Structure 1
């Protein structure tokens, strides 16, 4: 009604939302406020994403790629997947690229290199304080070639504590500073060029995707894995060595997602 009332000279027609869309970036949701846990948002967001799923189910293109940005992203994406049955489950993802970028920048700052020289960090699990930022497989391009981050950051205590905690709490720190969630950094991370055009050779990114059981992660949850993209499709990077420390962190964030899934399902009743 307001679009019509504004009498925009360039407005020629108004069509149904989501009609024939090939890419849907889901920004809408009940926003997180300072002091609010993601669980507190579920009772408000579950109905929203059930309705969004219905719109995509009815009107979106059959090959529609969906990226959920509104928190809690993993659970919102799971609810959307469960109610948008015609959209392939591999086409519904959630944003953990922001956490991936934060991890890259923390390492670059620590080593005093350009962030473009750092690659292949991993964000495992949930976009929450239980996520596991993993630098075990990350490398840095130097004048002497590519070197593992663990060779350049000799302080193992920093990698297992301060680095992880800083990345986990970046979102909270930004909310505390500006009384609202990330804006510019989240917008930058939302760029879907890697998914659509492919990841550069030898690199991967972190994406929240439907678990197929890789790395012992339970199926039927949306979980952040390292993925490579090619020709508009993603695939989980296989065969990475997982040490005992990482295993515990990965399982803990999976349990968090399973608990949130149960809470979300209770909101549907």
Structure 2
């Protein structure tokens, strides 16, 4: 079934109480939810910054076709957003990039009136033809969670945003060329890691609050395709563990990371959020630096 076909099957299976139903399509993930509110009531919750901020994330400003925007979260995650369609009460579409450096994906929201209930069938379709089945399943679960939060917000009027995600993760696609981001010691050119004269010993977080170093442990680099390590966070009961990988994507390669363990630090929530935001900003800068190195290597001129 093409992901451009009318979304009829979710109408038949989606429960009328805000329980989403998701499916995996070729090159896309689609999740639908039946809401008791009519489309004209649902639309502001999808587009008006004050309403979006109650259940999803913080928009930098009003959505306008062709204008760049940003959707930010309290834990430091964000998407850069550029709307392409805004049809009030019917359809919204935008391109977005996770952390501003990820692969551009197209997200389309459609609203259809349910004449039987006076409510709305809301469908979100997230397009990306490079995801693995496992990644697509995770995206489906993510959109399911967000639509549950939207449905709960519409039903209760309460804020339903999540506060802190356990993982910091992201990826950047690098062009074909000679650049090998996990070749040693070249990886030290983009990864904020310093040696003590013998081995990698420190992970440096550098942002607008200044530099700070965190001791490294369990460093292991395998075949220029996988790097794992953990960082010591003072006062924390666990050590956030990171995995960095390089995989082939088309003619190029994808540099990805997952830094896990931010909800189990045992620190006050405000402190854990601050740390996660700072590490996220550092990872964004690191991926952008790796992308710049890869571009220069692919086109030295």
Same fold (TM over 0.5): no
Which protein is richer in strand relative to its size?
2
Q: TM-score, normalization: structure 1? A: 0.24
In proportion to residue count, which structure has more helix?
1
Higher relative contact order (CA 8 A, sep 6+): 1
TM-score (norm 2): 0.22
Q: Quick check: which has more Rg, 1 or 2?
A: 2
